[in-house]
Amino acid sequence: MIQVTNLVKRFDDQEVLHGMDVTVKRGEVLAIIGPSGSGKSTFLRCLNLLELPTMGSIQIDNVILSFQEHKRIADREIRKLRGKTGMVFQSFHLFPHMTAKQNVMEGPIQVKGISTSRAVSLAEHLLIQVGLKDKQDAYPDQLSGGQQQRVAIARALAMEPEVLLLDEPTSALDPELVGEVLATIRQLAKGNQTMLIVTHELSFAREVADRILFIDQGQIVEQGRPQDIFEYPQKDRTKQFLERFNQL
């Protein structure tokens, strides 16, 4: 489903990802954890090509791209790989002049060229799926942060991506709103949606993920089943990072 090989990312002279190798199976939920500044979000953005890798290769489904320093990637190739993914950011980035339903409809109409009637049906279905049946005609400023993030999730799903990438989807929310977004992601995980989730919500990662990837300083320190990582970490750095969590 996803095969990342020797992925390197440099910003000027600073290398922030050091030859990462990651495999994700179809329907798998991979939670990516680690300290701030460790390269988690950069890795996710490389998969969506919001950041172009310096070296390495990325395969998602049947699309493969290889990267070399100073080698240009054609726009059509970028669109092809990006079309396999849906991205949910920390901030919601909803169009303020559009209702929740219109925000979800916009991508399928403009990018995929589907009919308005089909886009309406799709948007209504997805907003029900994320628990916003009664908010379809509300504008973003009429919605809470948690509701806006759930609209953003529905918008990403409307593009029917092979994989959903979520970059700290609860970090911009007030604590009391976090639960409703996590509940939505739990439901998606039960529905066999392939997901990569960067999160600081360690208890949530343990609950929802099939596998945990612990990154520090742009390298994969350890990966494995949630039970193995959280209860029997093998690396000292993993133990140090999880010490606070395990004391809760």
Residue linked to tokens 């996803």: 2
CB 60 within 8 A of CB 1: yes
pLDDT band (50, 70, 90) for residue 246: low
What is the tens place of the pLDDT at every residue in 56-92? 999 999 999 999 988 899 999 999 999 999 999 988 8
Mean pLDDT of 117-123: 97
What is the tens place of the pLDDT at every residue in 146-164? 999 999 999 999 999 999 9
Are residue 80 and residue 184 in the same domain, yes or no? yes
What is the tens place of the pLDDT at every residue in 171-190? 888 888 899 999 999 999 88
Mean pLDDT of 205-232: 96
pLDDT band (50, 70, 90) for residue 236: very high
In a domain, residue 247? The reply is no
Go through 22-36 and write b for each residue having 16 or more CB atoms within 10 A of its CB, e for each that does not. Answer: bebeeebbbbbbbee
- pLDDT tops 80 at residue 245: no
Full residue range of the structural domain in which residue 37 is found: 1-84+162-168+180-198+210-242
Instruction: DSSP letter for 102, please.
Output: H
CB 68 within 8 A of CB 127: no
Are residue 116 and residue 234 in the same domain, yes or no? no
In a domain, residue 203? The reply is no
Looking at the structure of the chain, the number of domains it has is 2
Backbone torsions φ then ψ of 231, nearest 5 degrees: -105, -30
